[in-house]
């Protein structure tokens, strides 16, 4: 087992990539804190992990709120005493329940702020709390979930791309800062993966994406969980501030 008795917190762990990482890490012996803003989603994943013999509990919080994150970490550390791995994964694909594309010149302030807060503020808030515990014990891993949106850009998604680009730069900066404390910070920048987030993409758009993806398909959540497991375990102890991008060749 690659993560025996490691204590892990996964934000947005109630769905898609977060769920898959939770199940994968649990199979490798980790205890999983499943954060989500949706209590029932977090509970469902905890139940799934327990059903396969793993250990997990929910930590319901809106990670875009600094106050909520502070409380979540205090509850987490009270429950499990430490944190070995943080995965900053919580995210949203759109700020409104509409399939419409947003032209950048039409994006309202609140949509911009919500996108940045959900991805970038949350990554900072959770990293800050995790580092307090990790630096003092001189051990830890932080895995940030970026996106190809942050490396190559996508049209009609400026706020999402800015947030993901920010996460990539944040990763590189913090990685340089804390490696001396034996805390390793890295990032995964997935391409298009089949999850509830990408389910609203219509058939025509899906075909266009697949046409420019040399692998000829969307990725599976397991493609990302495998990269996350690598970054969480001892196999990656020389990885510092790196961006791993499982994307089927969409970006080469």
Q: Which residues are catalytic?
A: 160
Name which of 145, 245, 228, 143 is nearest 191 in CA terms: 245
- Contacting residue, 9, 33, 59, 64, with ligand NAD by CB under 6 A: 64
Query: What residues contact residue 233 under an 8 Å CB cut-off, 6+ apart?
Result: 2, 3, 28
Name which of 171, 173, 215, 207 is nearest 191 in CA terms: 215
Choose the binding region for ligand NAD from 1-9, 23-31, 76-84, 193-201 (rule: CB under 6 A).
193-201
- Contacting residue, 3, 6, 10, 14, with ligand NAD by CB under 6 A: 14
Contact between 11 and ligand NAD per CB under 6 A: yes
Contact between 196 and ligand NAD per CB under 6 A: yes
CA distance 142 to 140: 7
- Contacting residue, 8, 17, 85, 120, with ligand NAD by CB under 6 A: 17
Contact between 198 and ligand NAD per CB under 6 A: yes
CA distance 88 to 9: 8
CA distance 28 to 49: 12
CA distance 185 to 170: 10
Choose the binding region for ligand NAD from 108-116, 176-184, 194-202, 233-241 (rule: CB under 6 A).
194-202
Contact between 192 and ligand NAD per CB under 6 A: yes
- Going by the DSSP 8-state scheme, the letter that residue 218 receives in this structure is P
Choose the binding region for ligand NAD from 16-24, 49-57, 76-84, 103-111 (rule: CB under 6 A).
16-24
Residues forming the site for ligand NAD (CB under 6 A): 11-12, 14-18, 35-38, 41, 62-64, 89-92, 118, 145, 147, 190, 192-193, 195-198
């Amino acid at each position: 087992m690659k993560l025996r008795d490691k204590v892990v917190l996964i934000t947005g762990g109630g769905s898609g990539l977060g769920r898959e990482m939770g199940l994968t890490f649990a199979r490798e012996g980790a205890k999983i804190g499943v954060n989500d803003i949706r209590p029932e989603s977090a509970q469902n994943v905890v139940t799934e992990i327990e059903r396969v013999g793993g250990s997990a509990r929910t930590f319901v919080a809106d990670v875009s709120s600094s106050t909520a994150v502070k409380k979540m970490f205090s509850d987490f550390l009270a429950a499990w005493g430490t944190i070995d791995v943080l995965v900053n994964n919580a995210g949203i694909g759109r700020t409104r329940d509409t399939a419409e594309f947003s032209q950048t010149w039409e994006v309202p302030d609140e949509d911009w702020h919500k996108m940045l807060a959900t991805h970038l503020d949350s990554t900072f808030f959770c990293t800050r709390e995790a580092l307090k515990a990790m630096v003092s014990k001189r051990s830890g891993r932080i895995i940030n979930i970026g996106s190809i949106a942050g490396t190559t850009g996508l049209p009609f998604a400026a706020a999402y791309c800015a947030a993901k680009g920010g996460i990539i730069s944040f990763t590189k900066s913090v990685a340089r800062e804390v490696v001396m404390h034996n805390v390793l910070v890295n990032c995964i920048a997935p391409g298009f993966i089949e999850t509830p987030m990408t389910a609203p993409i219509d058939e025509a758009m899906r075909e266009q994406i697949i046409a420019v993806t040399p692998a000829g398909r969307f990725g599976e959540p397991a493609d990302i969980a495998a990269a996350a497991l690598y970054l969480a375990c001892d196999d990656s102890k020389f990885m510092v501030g790196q961006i791993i991008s499982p994307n089927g060749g969409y970006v080469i």
